[in-house]
Chain A
């Protein structure tokens, strides 16, 4: 411990201390909202999803990707850009959210994040197609089926990429309720 800088303890690691995380999540959502108000005001409701957890954020990204017709070259470039940008943003958010008393993940983790983002895109893509179908022929049955399917698929993917062993774990319940699984005070 002698040569290492002193790290805050676990007990002092409170949410509001993660200012970078808060700034990035809020900043990207506000930036997208501002942009959409200018160019596509009817779509401004999608803006908060840009900084959501990976499955929901990828659902957001793919809907934008599918929303316009482009040449194959442009599509490939956009898809590659989307994968890299999403993986980079997720990696940054993980680092900023990492508990202060633990060493944050290395930037090399972004390679894994790209793989995870690609996998999530493949899994969520049919749901985006269904959303597209609902936009063509809008009636509620497929939409009502889409939402639970989306949530069910998002659940086991919610922690994808956060740790190398994510594929051998399920999302911890303590993520939803940080106090739920702590032992009662003695």
Chain B
């Protein structure tokens, strides 16, 4: 109900939020009534049985609240055992069981253990291997080894080379990459978070290498991009995913003249750094608690206890500034492919026309056939049309999710203040 109220409040004009809040308040009242009634009858019955003969009148239940517990668990349990038939109210039969053991704290401990175990399992089954293929031979482009040259490949897809920037936890390098297969005949070079070697080839790296500050990431992307541009003589198209989109923002902010062609953002990090801590006053608590959480969750993950600490700290410091600056230097052609799951973190505003929503999870689009088909169409100058109903669904989900996110005083810009009436994906627009 609270989620639905949030979706309505956000979708409708602001003044409508007041009556919607009133209706939600009514549901809250019903929840309080139901829960309190169930507990009160239980407490009342327990104390009636403890304090008086079974034939006594209705019990004063309130006394139970002031006490920390009945006289003893044994008494309480025996009272409960005798309770049902004598109850005035049939609902008294549904007494909450008063256990000898602290059931509430035990349930909480079980829940916390379950959450930790599930987190570990998710990383175990779904996370990357921290050092997967870190020693694999460097693959330059689809089906090639060694430095790339403009005439090496037939320009079946686009006539531009493509730089593939994978996200957090990725590894480099392998020849058997889905993007290279999806763009046959196109020079596809994988970006390395460790930079390139003397021959200009991306250096192999493991999953932990992507935990670097954004300015450094932007510089490394720019260096590899320029090198590819110099060797091919053409603007470089970019396909970036997740953290790669943050790196692209950093690069565009720090190197606005980089020779960028078309850009495809997969699982983009939209509106990063909307909140942040400066490390003074109470924000020290926020920072320390967040760092402790990252340390703990990182310890459960293959990335180690440092987790994504460096990256998050950097996004906290410069993420919003880079995103804003990058929006000013946005490339001529840009497509954002957003997995529907990411709608829960999208700003609650109409999606720009450059966005396509597909049914997928975050960070998995470089291996997603639907996403790769979209990338191929876009980079070959064909129009891309998403499923309109998914856009609508994503907007509704984004609005509903605001109920459970940090409160925002204003919608983030970009993307909410940018004009949604941009060119449709696949069509070039004049600079």
| A27 interface residue per 8 A CB criterion | yes
A85 at the interface (CB under 8 A from B): no
CA distance A42 to B119 in the complex (A): 32
Q: Is the CB of B29 within 8 A of A21?
A: yes
Determine which of B22, B40, B69, B346 lies in contact with A168 in the assembled complex, contact meaning CB atoms within 8 Å: B69
Judge whether B38 and A137 touch: CB under 8 Å: no
**A136 and B312 in contact, given A47-B21, A69-B282, A160-B104 (Cβ under 8 angstroms):** yes
Any A CB within 8 A of the CB of B383: no
| Contact indicator per residue, chain A 64-80, by CB within 8 Å of chain B (1) or not (0) | 10110111101100000
Q: Tell me whether A74 and B282 are in contact (CB under 8 A).
A: yes
Other-chain contact of B17, A44, A109, A133 (Cβ < 8 Å): A44
B405: Cβ under 8 A from any A Cβ: yes
Asked if A81 CB lies within 8 Å of chain B CBs, one says: no
CA distance A73 to B22 in the complex (A): 34
Are B281 and A75 closer than 8 Å at their CB atoms? yes
Q: From residue A70, how far is it (CB to closest CB) to chain B in Å? A: 5
In whole Å, how far is A144's beta carbon from the nearest beta carbon of chain B?
7
Q: Does A168 contact B102, Cβ atoms closer than 8 Å?
A: yes
Are B38 and A175 within 8 A (Cβ)? yes
Known interface pairs A103-B62, A152-B115. Does A33 touch B319 (Cβ–Cβ under 8 Å)? no
The yes or no answer to A150 lying at the interface (CB within 8 A) is yes
Q: Find A171's partner among B7, B96, B282 (CB 8 Å cutoff).
A: B96
Interface residues on chain A, size class: 35 or more
- Tell me the bound Cα distance from A101 to B58 in angstroms: 8
Within 8 Å of chain B (Cβ to Cβ): is A118?
Answer: no
Smallest CB–CB gap between B31 and chain A, Å?
6
CB nearest to A19 among chain B residues: B29
Indicate whether B67 reaches chain A with its CB closer than 8 angstroms: yes
Inter-subunit contact A138/B274 (CB<8 Å): yes
Q: Type the 1/0 row for B37-76, where 1 means its CB is closer than 8 Å to any CB of A.
A: 1111111101000000000011111111111111001001
A132 touches B286 (CB 8 A): yes
Judge whether A72 and B111 touch: CB under 8 Å: no
Question: By the criterion CB–CB under 8 Å, are B410 and A42 in contact?
Answer: yes
B58 (CB) vs chain A CBs: closest residue: A101
Contact with A along B208-235 (1 / 0, CB 8 A): 0000000000000000000000000000
| B86 located at the interface, meaning its Cβ lies under 8 Å from any Cβ of chain A in the complex | no
Chief secondary structure at chain A's binding surface: helix
Q: Does B290 contact A (CB under 8 A)?
A: yes
- Bound-state CA distance A52–B28 (Å) is 5
* Docked complex Cα distance between A36 and B58 (Å): 45
Closest to A115 in B: B68
Contact B65 A106 (CB under 8 A): yes
Q: Which of B9, B67, B105, B410 has its CB near the most chain A CB atoms (within 10 A)?
A: B9
Q: A131-B405, A132-B406 are in contact. Are A159 and B65 (CB under 8 A)?
A: no
Interface hit among B265-273, B329-337, B350-358, B366-374: B265-273
Judging by beta carbons under 8 Å apart, are A174 and B273 in contact? no
Q: Inside 8 A of A32's CB, which chain B residues have their CB? A: 21
Set of chain A residues within 8 Å of B402, measured between Cβ atoms: 42-43, 45-46
Give Cα A120 to B81, complex, Å.
31
Report yes or no: B282 in contact with A37, Cβ–Cβ below 8 A.
no
Closest A residue by C-beta to B282? A75
Number of B positions contacting A (CB below 8 A): 128
B132: CB under 8 A from chain A? no
Contact status B102-A183, CB under 8 Å: no
Are A43 and B62 closer than 8 Å at their CB atoms? no
Q: Which residues on B sit within 8 Å (CB–CB) of A15?
A: 29-30, 33
Which residues of chain B are near A82, meaning CB under 8 Å? none
- Residues in chain B near residue A117, CB distance under 8 A: none
CA distance in complex: A51, B65 (Å): 21
Known: A45-B403, A52-B28, A162-B39. A169 touches B21 (CB 8 A): no
Per-position contact with B for A107-151: 1 when CB-CB < 8 Å, else 0? 011001000000000010110011111111111110111110110
Among B87-95, B385-393, B423-431, the one that faces the other chain is: B87-95
Is the beta-carbon distance between A175 and B282 smaller than 8 angstroms? no
A23 to chain B, nearest CB (A): 9
For A161, the closest partner residue in chain B by CB is B65
Q: Which residues of B contact A94 (CB under 8 A)?
A: 32, 36, 65
Asked if B419 is an interface residue, CB under 8 A from chain A, the answer is no
Q: Check if B282 sits within 8 Å of A139, measured CB to CB.
A: no
Q: Does B154 contact A (CB under 8 A)?
A: no
Contact B33 A21 (CB under 8 A): yes
B409 touches which of A39, A145, A175, A181 (Cβ 8 Å): A39
What is the CB-to-nearest-CB distance from A153 to chain B, in angstroms, rounded to a whole number?
Answer: 6
Q: How far is it, in angstroms, between the C-alpha of A103 and the C-alpha of B63 when the chains are bound?
A: 8
Per-position 1/0 for B274-307, Cβ under 8 A of A? 1111101111011001100110000000000000
B365 within 8 A of A: no
In the complex, A125→B288 CA distance in Å?
12
Q: Can you offer 20 A-B residue contacts whose CB atoms are under 8 A?
A: A10-B41, A21-B29, A26-B22, A45-B7, A46-B403, A48-B20, A48-B28, A63-B407, A103-B60, A129-B289, A134-B405, A140-B339, A140-B342, A140-B362, A143-B344, A144-B341, A155-B107, A156-B107, A169-B96, A182-B93
If A98-B40, A157-B104, A178-B34 are given as contacts, then 15 extra A-B residue pairs at C-beta distance below 8 Å, sorted by A number, are: A18-B33, A33-B18, A41-B14, A45-B403, A53-B28, A99-B40, A109-B65, A131-B405, A137-B311, A144-B344, A150-B404, A156-B104, A162-B40, A168-B101, A174-B34
